[in-house]
A and B are shown apart, each in its own frame.
Chain A
Amino acid sequence: MFKYQFRWDTVWGSFDFLMSGLQMTLIVSAITLVLAMVGGLIIALLDMSRFRALRWIGVSIGEVVRNTPILVQLLWVYYVLPIVFGIRIEALVALIIGLALYQAAFISEVYRSGIQSVPKGHVEAAQVLGLSPLQSFRRIVLPQAIKMTLPPLASNFVQLIKFSSLGAVISVSEITRRGMELSATNFRPLETFTFIAVVYFLICWPLAMGIRFWERRLQNR
């Protein structure tokens, strides 16, 4: 170990190659976040539905997704869905669907707790003044709930950046996959994966710190 000769030039030489992987990582994370926000809304609406069957569906999706490993879910989407529906799914599409489904289950909880963070009295005040349930939701509940959900949504984005590395397993060419490919040719896994870990850290850490600061400010309002 002490005699190890670092050869960082093997990483710099493939900088563009790795950065194109980072680009893929960020694109996958962003698209997935948007889909997961929509999916989370659907699950939250199912959960709060007046119909028992719909509530059951919403709750079941959430429970299954939260209580199975995300890697298994990804592999399932990639290998099982094509068998069931008889179509081949692009690895990239499978990754986005798998991650989005997983994240949607958590985001539905974010929405729910955002809505529940609005004191009941605010809604009752609106009700007594004659606002309709829809008006009171749009004007009183939503603006306050959104403010509370933004930091957790940003946290979800950070999580997605990390989880998207699982795409490497089904050969989506995000940055981790690029690292695997590179180290298979330069035989320098130490430099390669150290560099990749630092890249993840430099993106995720400032975001996480910013979010923590933001959440504290919301709490002390």
Chain B
Amino acid sequence: MSTTPIILADGVTKRFGTNQVLTRVSLPVMERDVVCVVGPSGSGKTTLLRCFALLELPSEGRILMEGTPISTAQPDREIKAAARAVRSEIGMVFQHFNLWPHMSVLENLIEAPLRVKKMPKDQAIAMAEKLLAKVDLSDKRDAYPARLSGGQQQRVAIARALAMSPKVLLFDEATSALDPELRREVLIVMRQLALEGMTMLVVTHEMGFARHVGTRTVFMDRGEIVEEAPGAAFFDAPKTERAKRFLQQFEDD
């Protein structure tokens, strides 16, 4: 296995005006890693993910994909070109799904392959149908998002991200907007992806998922990575006071 991270945050600092949200965050995600990011709300997890997804520019530091810089505070022409080239290899699943409501499930899935990859339509449809089967939604192929439950919408969103065959998939609290009884079906899909070797960076409040599926747990607080440990080790033996206090609120789970 290669020792170059699939994706790497290299000393990323992010400020919104004078509000410093990330402070020199460095985080490599290796191939087949399932890195789970946990931490109190407002600690900068979403912002970090958005930097990886190229939705925000870091104020300092860089994002690298397989060793190539794709984002800096002031990206030059070379970096912008590199970003365009790999953009669709970084998939993202949002807390609020963000399916396109004017398109059917199938249309949501084939849009990017058709327009970005210029994939022939029949091929795109065949692939979309395979992905829908994978997230167990073959019967919803022609439904519109508004007709689906939150759990179904999120599974469609995952399938849509997979349709671009990303090298890494970012999840921003993919189950937080769902009723508890709908979370399981999404977590099952995520675990399945992890088992298949998908490289994943998962911001989550699902401690069970982080402990049992994650290969590494990263604890963030106030814009910094406070602690980092292999999957379960973080939960069994947190080293810092802040992490211990954070974990206490989940003890009833």
Contact = CB atoms under 8 A, between A and B. Distances in A.
Interface string B19-46: 0000000000000000000000000000
Contacts, number: 61
Contacts of B146: 221
11 contacts: A121-B98, A125-B98, A125-B99, A126-B111, A128-B54, A128-B90, A129-B91, A129-B161, A131-B111, A140-B100, A144-B101
Given A121-B98, A122-B98, A144-B101, A128 B92 contact: yes
Main secondary structure of the interface of A (DSSP, over half): helix
Contacts of A122: 98, 100-101
Contacts of A139: 111, 115
Interface residues on A, range: 10 to 19
Nearest to A142: B102
Interface of B: 53-55, 87-88, 90-92, 94, 96, 98-102, 111-112, 115-116, 146, 157, 160-161, 164
Interface of A: 119, 121-122, 124-131, 135, 139-140, 143-144, 147, 221
Nearest to A120: B98
B94 A124 contact: yes
A130 B100 contact: no
Nearest to A123: B98
Contact of A128 (B55, B96, B111): B55
B101 A128 contact: no
Given A124-B55, A135-B115, A130 B88 contact: yes
